Amino acid sequence: MEQYQLMIRHSFIFLERIGSRKERQLWSQGIQSWQDFLKAQTIKGIPAIKKQYYDRKLRESQQALAEDNSSFFIGKLKPKEMWRLYHYFKEECCFLDGEIDSSGRVILVGLSSEQQTKHFVCGANLEQLLLQKELEKYKLLITFNGSSFDLPKLKKQYGITIGIPHIDLKPLCINLGLKGGLKEVEKGLHLQRPTHLYGNPVQLWKAFHASGDKEYLELLIEYNREDTENLKWIMDHIYKRMCTERTSTEIPKNEKNHPIYRQ
């Protein structure tokens, strides 16, 4: 299978009782896309009645993509498989990274898309309605450790709800051998940021409040911008790596212990 395609159109893992091994078996039979599956009269290992059911589900999925409805896949794709949506919705996704103060409260949120990077700052424009409205413009949300950190904090503090698929890069990075926090992953991928942007965002916010000097706030925003925009490079890398791993013709003997499945 050609690499780095619109992986979602080649995915069967969201269908009932089809796991990663069965998906690979389908690919090895030449059933490498939804269209291949629908065109086939019969498919080895799938009873006729079951194929009719799968055909219906795949047509529903095709319709969802045609309607640009990414939320259709929530609850169908497991969180660890949401990366498959990335290439299709790449131009309509946003990358989110939040900063907190010494009390653990969110004081800045950066949202970066293909077009621009926006910042929401406590005391200025970090408000529930404004941030929620901005998030609703997108079809896919990407974070680094957002499942455990950013999103729970935003929900608790600002009542932000996420109604689009979410890709958390941290567990994907770990399973590809890229361990540690965001800065460690950046170094592992040879992503370099200016030396002055390796500081402590908590201290920058504290210095801004203590002095009122906007240079500290501007530096914090610049720091966050580097975080959110670097997530784009990491997502591209992860997507290509995952495509390569998943579309490999070799099925691991002990698939459950293979790193790519420990997510």
Residue 99 DSSP code: E
CATH of domain 1-67: 1.10.150
Mean pLDDT score of the chain = 90
Half-sphere exposure of 220 (CA within 13 A, CB side): 26
pLDDT tens digits, 152-165 = 999 999 999 999 99
pLDDT at residue 3, as a whole number: 47
Tokens 């990274």, residue? 97
- Is pTM beyond 0.85? Reply is yes
Task: Show me where the domains of the chain are located.
Answer: 1-67, 90-240
pLDDT at residue 9, as a whole number: 95
- How far, in Å, are 6, 30, 33, 34, 51 from residue 38 at the CA level? 17, 12, 9, 6, 9
pLDDT tens digits, 30-55 = 999 999 999 999 999 999 999 999 99
pLDDT tens digits, 163-212 = 999 999 999 999 999 999 999 999 999 988 777 666 688 898 988 888 98
User: Among 167, 163, 119, 160, which residue's Cα sits nearest to residue 141?
Assistant: 167
pLDDT at residue 32, as a whole number: 92
Mean pLDDT of 69-82: 97
CB atoms within 10 A of CB 227: 23
Q: Which CATH class, in words, describes the domain spanning 90-240?
A: alpha beta
Both structure tokens of 102: 């010494």
pLDDT at residue 6, as a whole number: 87
Residue 256 DSSP code: G
**Residues with Cβ within 8 Å of residue 218, at least 6 apart in sequence:** none
The C-alpha R_g of the chain, in whole angstroms, comes to 21
pLDDT at residue 201, as a whole number: 87
Q: Alpha carbon 189 to chain centroid distance?
A: 18
